[in-house]
Amino acid sequence: MKSPDSGPIKFQREVVQSRLMARDSSGAFAEGTIPVELRLDPLTGRSCRVVPFSLDRIIKTDLAAMEKRSRELPCPFCPPLVEQIIPRFPPDLVPEGVIRRGKALAFPNTGPYDIHGAVIVVTDEHFVPLNKFTQEAVLNALLAAQDFVKYMQQADPAAKHHFIAWNYMPPSGGSLVHPHLQGNAGYRPTVYQKLLLESSRKYFRKKGQNYWSDLLQQEKQTDERYIGRIGATEWLTSFAPRGRLSDILVVFPGRTSVVELTRADLRDFSAGLLKVFRYIDELKLVSFNMSTYSGFDSGQFWAQARIVPRGLLLYSPIETSDQFYYQLLQDENICILSPEAACRRMKKWFNGTNEK
């Protein structure tokens, strides 16, 4: 693969043509081609294939029906039930037992994925559409999640690998409609955390530079995937996305870990998230996955987050998942909305032209 891009980071891509005999307007067969673009992530080397499809394939989920079904059983995150049934952290981990920030409430996850796990209920409202979130609600939830990580690091310094995640709505894997985040901290990094940290360290040793600093500088110059800046946060789409409908990368320059983010940083992050939510809503999607990533050396790694829009697609009269064998069994993403096209659509929200 060769790249026309100049600079320390090489954006490698190759377009191949898949040949076929297709019928023309008269019904006769004629040879044609369908382009498939192969991309390599410039840091990790993970491959991705960009195969554009019409966004008309996106199906708008019936939110009214989803909300109605979600109320068939009592919601454990709604008041007053949430205060009656949630567990508490042991006193040596969190002296108060729970963490409160405004209406956000953090407590132990009864189905943890690591030695330390938390659920952070965003608000006391059971159902919040993407375009109805407030900055205050999102900021308080992020602050509560950050508090959880800080408490765990103080009580158990060996649990240094941590992240904050969000599965919003069932298409993303969210088990409850009531909006909630999760916090995780443990002794071993996830596969992708390890890959990011090792690749960033390797880049630093080879080039003597922070990859994320170089990435931002180069993406700003080419202006193909750079969305914009909000306060101390930088927003762009990924050259080799991990989502079917591209994804959004948020970088916190100079910050090594989510623990280091100030209230102002998190306020800027929450302001950007609201813009992303409105972009996702514009695409007729109702769901997303989000995760933060932290490191240990600001010279080699800057804290960041990634948001992946999720939804149901229509390839026949039947709705289908946006995940299939390529992602799950071949460990390679198929992207149907190019990062460059996603960036152009999202810039409208970040420069204010689509604000309501």
Q: Which of 145, 101, 149 is nearest to 119 (CA)?
A: 145
- For 150-207, give the DSSP string: HHHHHH-TT--EEEEEEEESGGGT-S-SS-EEEEEEESS--HHHHHHHHHHHHHHHHH
Say whether pLDDT at 356 is over 80: no
DSSP 8-state symbol, 322? S
Read off the pLDDT of each residue in 225-246 and give the average, rounded to a whole number: 97
Percentage of the chain exceeding pLDDT 90: 84
Q: Angle 191-207/211-222 helices, nearest 10 degrees?
A: 80
Query: Where would I find the H helices in 186-262?
Result: 191-207, 211-222
Is 132 in contact with 274 (CB distance < 8 Å)? no
* Cβ neighbours of residue 253 closer than 8 Å, sequence gap 6 or more: 212, 213, 216, 232, 234, 302
SS3 40: strand
Task: Say whether pLDDT at 2 is over 60.
Answer: no
Is the entire prediction scored with pTM above 0.85? Answer: yes
Amino acid at 218: Q
| Assigned CATH class of 72-312+338-350 | alpha beta
pLDDT at residue 3 greater than cutoff 50: no
Mean pLDDT for 207-224 is: 97
Task: Give domain limits for the chain.
Answer: 72-312+338-350
Given a cut of 60, is residue 103 above it in pLDDT? yes
What digits encode the pLDDT tens for the residues 241-277? Answer: 999 999 999 999 999 999 999 999 999 999 999 999 9
- Inform me whether the pLDDT recorded for 353 exceeds 80: no
Q: Is the pLDDT of residue 59 over 80?
A: no
Per-residue pLDDT band at 316 (split at 50, 70, 90): low
Q: What is the mean pLDDT of the chain?
A: 93
